Structure 1
């Protein structure tokens, strides 16, 4: 198959994505997809924040030219002494990144994935952090519903049992959590692919 026929998918974010990349071995290589049709690229930066997508990952996005991008980022931004201001603008900033990816890199579908609760934090209380996560997730979900080529992805099986799926550090996923996460991320890729194909099949208005 011609390389041009392969659908490139990028999963971008913080250390969750770096750990996901390291765990994609054996039957889970390439997130379990056929390499002849889909190529999955994971770019995760430990401690990553939203600004790192612009400063550290633009070159990779330009090189890979993904049609689907999934974002798992924002938690480290919230764990800040300025968390109230961060919380109030974070959803809009995530949507801005999605629009930047679509308009600047011709990405067909951008999935903004659910932020996770934490059991331990550095700069604010755990309660403030987790309430902020709920707030941001709710706003992102609402905003994605009205923006073309952008969807919110809830990690099934991880929200209600969030704390059971964390490591002792209270931040990263345990082995149990990572297994669930892989299935969820694969589901998000499939949703993005289906949405992209559905969008491509729409008849174009040639009257304009």
Structure 2
């Protein structure tokens, strides 16, 4: 759908890595970005890394910052936006990778706080942190997520997420 942007001026590519993490992105995603040479990259990354208890929140934070720096300064992407990681809910069904939700959400809040502070304090040229809106109240979470508690649902979650990503891209184009 090209994020509803003018197709004659912008071409939006969406790329996901099922079960992806920072290492997978470094191995596959960076090469893909070299080929595509995008002007703007919006990254939703780090959630799966937070699920792994052997990864400290600080290590995941450093990994995300490292990826952002490589994209911006080595691959010369004009604008790199790192998105806030969303909370998870208790699953309504058995899922493959169960994590303690309170533990995960606490780590999520800590990582988002670190990233927000880092990008605000360092004000690096064309690197930013994007805060999603509409996902944080208990009511909005219940309406936005699938019954696995991890993925967004088609009816409410993805439209909200789509609008947030579109806003991030439009904001990046203006600045």
How high is the TM-score relative to the length of structure 2? 0.88
Query: Would you say how many aligned residue pairs link Structure 1 and Structure 2?
Result: 165
* Coordinate RMSD, CA, aligned: 1.4
Looking at structure 2, the residues matched to 93 and 81 of structure 1 have their Cα atoms a distance apart, in angstroms, of: 15
How high is the TM-score relative to the length of structure 1? 0.75
Partner of residue 167, structure 2: 187
Q: Equivalences for 1:97-108 in 2 at 5 Å?
A: 97-108=67-78
> Is residue 133 of structure 2 the alignment partner of residue 171 of structure 1?
no
Looking at structure 1, the residues matched to 24 and 80 of structure 2 have their Cα atoms a distance apart, in angstroms, of: 17
Structure 1: gaps of 5 or more residues: 1-28, 196-208
1:96, distance to aligned residue in structure 2 (A)? 1.1
1:192, distance to aligned residue in structure 2 (A)? 1.4
Question: Whose relative contact order is higher, 1 or 2, with alpha carbons under 8 Å and at least 6 apart?
Answer: 2
Alignment match of 2:109 (pick from 134, 154, 159): 134
Q: Larger radius of gyration, structure 1 or 2?
A: 1
Stretch deviating more after TM superposition (146-155 or 118-127): 118-127
> Structure 2 vs 1, CA of residues 80 and 123 (structure 1 numbering), >3 Å: closer, same or farther?
farther
Structure having the higher strand fraction is: 1
Partner of residue 25, structure 2: 53
Alignment match of 1:63 (pick from 24, 27, 35): 35
Deviations 1:77-116 (CA, angstroms, capped at 9, x unpaired): 1111324x2x122122111111100111111111000101
Deviations 1:17-45 (CA, angstroms, capped at 9, x unpaired): xxxxxxxxxxxx11111111111111101
1:123, distance to aligned residue in structure 2 (A)? 5.1
1:135, distance to aligned residue in structure 2 (A)? 0.3
Partner of residue 94, structure 2: none
Partner of residue 205, structure 1: none
Structure 2: gaps of 5 or more residues: 92-96
- Is the 8 Å Cα contact of residues 117 and 163 (structure 1) preserved in structure 2? no
- Is the 8 Å Cα contact of residues 110 and 151 (structure 1) preserved in structure 2? yes
Partner of residue 158, structure 1: 135
> Structure 2 vs 1, CA of residues 120 and 82 (structure 1 numbering), >3 Å: closer, same or farther?
farther
> Structure 2 vs 1, CA of residues 191 and 150 (structure 1 numbering), >3 Å: closer, same or farther?
same
- Is the 8 Å Cα contact of residues 44 and 83 (structure 2) preserved in structure 1? yes
Alignment match of 1:110 (pick from 64, 80, 105): 80
